[in-house]
């Protein structure tokens, strides 16, 4: 109780000072230090004291600008800890791997547009296909298991803070497989903060291994900022942040799957689960495509425990085709498998306090046997969660003042060679993911897909 009171006391102080992505871009430096109160559970590490405001030593362009005041910028001093003995080639590979990690896993979006403010439909089996009515029933059970619709409707805003570890664990070509040596020591550590407010506003800031990604939505526009691209608006409709669906936002998760179809059952870590499938429609895919990059499909699967009713696994696969000028098409498929663990109640709402994701980035096309596959992994723990934070307002979700015209293509973080062939500048942003059905394994199929 004392710790919780101390957290809210500090939180109110920061809010009074103007905790806002808009205000945080002000030029006035603040050199106050923010200390993380809790020790982490990832290999027993504890986050070091973190510096707010501009770095004294001057960092790369995009990093030296102040991006957040208050809790939103608590990661500042956790950056740039590369070993002094690292060779230039090792340092280049580490930066390249980190850019790919942050680009793909930093702030991906869900496949479809949903609003957390929309009421869930009443369960009805009349004139409704069994796959749809079954999915609605599973979603109703999920809402009940997560705390109930009445309690969740009382949540106006939310805050979460956590720690992450990311690593590019394996790279495969047609002729060889290269695995990361000493994977635990090669992993990049960091943390994130996430703010959400109804309707459909969110802001996330993630700092890992010396770089920072932040992204947000004011309900009408989704944007993202990376050190290598600056600030850009995302193409297509407003969509929720995928990280929030990983056990942090039950109401938006329920709204996401309410139009899904129940396609079967499967055991996940020994638990029987129902599988709900959700696909982005052709209009949404077209709106997200740009230039030579065409989004072909984006499918999301949710695995809901038959025992607890909670979602314990998510898998989505996102396929993009890049057509070069008169050349062969190159295909990129990104698949993310996320496992959600350690559900505990926070003010009556069930929140997953840890989890892990395995990401596969698969490139194929052009010449036969020229494919490459990169495997990346992420583990996270949730340190703090709070609902209905006093003082949070729409001003906290204003897009950055330096938001450039144009949009971010979802191919922006593919390796430079393919983007050069496609005549694409570094206008490529976070890949999103979803599983293709061939990966579902021993599914007990109930209907034809």
Domain ranges of the chain: 88-445
Q: Name the burial class of residue 448, with classes exposed (0-12), middle (13-18) and buried (19+) by CB atoms within 10 angstroms of its CB.
A: exposed
Q: What does the pLDDT read at residue 69?
A: 38
At 135, list the tokens: 């999915």
pLDDT attached to residue 223: 94
d(CA 97, CA 376): 9
Q: Is the pLDDT of residue 74 over 50?
A: no
417 contact partners, CB below 8 Å, separation of at least 6:
none
Please report the pLDDT score of residue 410 as a whole number. 66
Please tell me which residue, 63 or 387, carries the higher pLDDT value: 387
**Tokens read off for 318:** 């996102």
- Residue 97 banded pLDDT, cuts 50, 70, 90: confident
189 has a pLDDT exceeding 90: yes
pLDDT band at 321 (very low <50, low <70, confident <90, very high): very high
- Per-residue pLDDT of 24-51, as tens digits, reads 444 333 323 333 333 333 344 433 333 3
Q: Which region among 155-164, 178-187, 356-365, 395-404 has the lowest average model confidence (pLDDT)?
A: 178-187
Is the pLDDT at 298 greater than 70? The verdict is yes
Contact 236, 287 (CB under 8 A): yes
Alpha carbons 87 and 359: distance in angstroms, whole number: 28
pLDDT score, position 302 = 98
Between these two residues, 75 and 166, which has the higher pLDDT value? 166
Residue 437, pLDDT > 50, answer no
As a whole number, mean pLDDT of residues 369-374 equals 83
Query: Distance between CA 301 and CA 296 in Å, rounded?
Result: 17
pLDDT top residue among 128 and 13:
128
Least confident among 79-88, 162-171, 217-226: 79-88
Average pLDDT, the chain: 75
Please name the CATH architecture into which domain 88-445 falls.
Clam (2.50)
What is the per-residue pLDDT across 126-174, written as a single tens digit (0 to 9) for each? 667 888 889 999 999 999 999 999 999 999 999 999 999 999 888 888 7
- Residue 386: how many other CB atoms lie within 10 Å: 16
- Mean of pLDDT values over 343-368: 92
Task: Supply the pLDDT for residue 30.
Answer: 31
Q: Give the integer Cα–Cα distance in Å for 178 and 173.
A: 9
Tokens representing residue 368 in the block? 């036969």
Supply angle C-alpha 373, 216, 223, rounded to 5: 70
Question: Please, are residues 298 and 318 in contact by the beta-carbon 8 Å criterion?
Answer: yes
Confidence at residue 98, expressed as pLDDT on a 0 to 100 scale: 83
Of the listed ranges 61-75, 245-259, 277-291, the one predicted with least confidence = 61-75
């Amino acid at each position: 109780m004392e710790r919780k009171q101390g957290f809210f006391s500090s939180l109110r102080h920061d809010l009074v000072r103007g905790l806002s992505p808009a205000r945080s871009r002000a030029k006035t430096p603040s050199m106050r230090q923010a200390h993380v109160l809790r020790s982490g559970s990832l290999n027993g590490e504890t986050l070091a004291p973190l510096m707010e405001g501009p770095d004294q030593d001057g960092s790369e362009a995009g990093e030296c600008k102040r991006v957040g005041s208050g809790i939103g910028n608590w990661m500042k001093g956790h950056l740039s800890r590369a070993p002094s003995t690292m060779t230039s080639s090792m340092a280049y590979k580490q930066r390249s791997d980190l850019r790919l990690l942050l680009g793909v896993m930093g702030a991906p979006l869900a496949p479809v547009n949903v609003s957390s403010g929309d009421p869930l439909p009443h369960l009805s089996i009349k004139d409704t296909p069994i796959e749809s009515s079954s999915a609605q029933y599973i979603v109703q059970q999920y809402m009940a298991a997560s705390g109930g619709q009445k309690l969740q409707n009382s949540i106006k805003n939310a805050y979460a803070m956590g720690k992450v570890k990311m690593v590019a664990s394996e790279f495969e070509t047609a002729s060889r497989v290269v695995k990361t040596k000493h994977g635990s020591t090669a992993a990049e550590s960091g943390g994130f903060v996430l703010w959400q407010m109804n309707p459909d506003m969110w802001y996330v800031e993630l700092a890992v291994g010396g770089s920072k990604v932040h992204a947000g939505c004011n309900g009408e526009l989704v944007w993202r900022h990376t050190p290598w691209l600056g600030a850009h608006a995302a193409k297509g409709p407003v969509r929720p942040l995928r990280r929030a669906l990983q056990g942090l936002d039950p109401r938006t998760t329920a709204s996401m799957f309410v139009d899904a179809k129940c396609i079967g059952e499967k055991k996940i870590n020994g638990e029987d689960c129902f599988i709900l499938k959700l696909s982005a429609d052709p209009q949404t895919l077209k709106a997200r495509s740009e230039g030579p990059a065409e989004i072909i499909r984006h499918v999301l699967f949710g695995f809901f425990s038959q025992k607890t009713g909670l979602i314990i696994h998510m898998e989505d696969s996102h396929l993009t085709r890049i057509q070069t000028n008169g050349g062969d098409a190159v295909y990129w498929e990104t698949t993310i498998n996320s496992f959600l663990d350690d559900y505990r109640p926070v003010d009556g709402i069930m929140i997953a306090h840890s989890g892990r994701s395995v990401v596969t980035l698969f490139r194929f096309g052009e010449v036969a046997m020229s494919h490459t596959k990169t495997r990346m992994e992420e583990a996270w723990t949730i340190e703090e969660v709070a609902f209905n934070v006093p003082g949070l307002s729409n001003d906290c979700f204003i897009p950055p003042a330096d938001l450039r015209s144009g949009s971010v293509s979802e191919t922006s973080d593919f390796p430079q060679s393919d983007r050069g062939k496609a005549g694409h500048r570094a206008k490529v942003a976070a890949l999103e993911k979803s599983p293709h059905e061939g990966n579902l394994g021993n599914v007990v199929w109930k209907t034809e897909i």
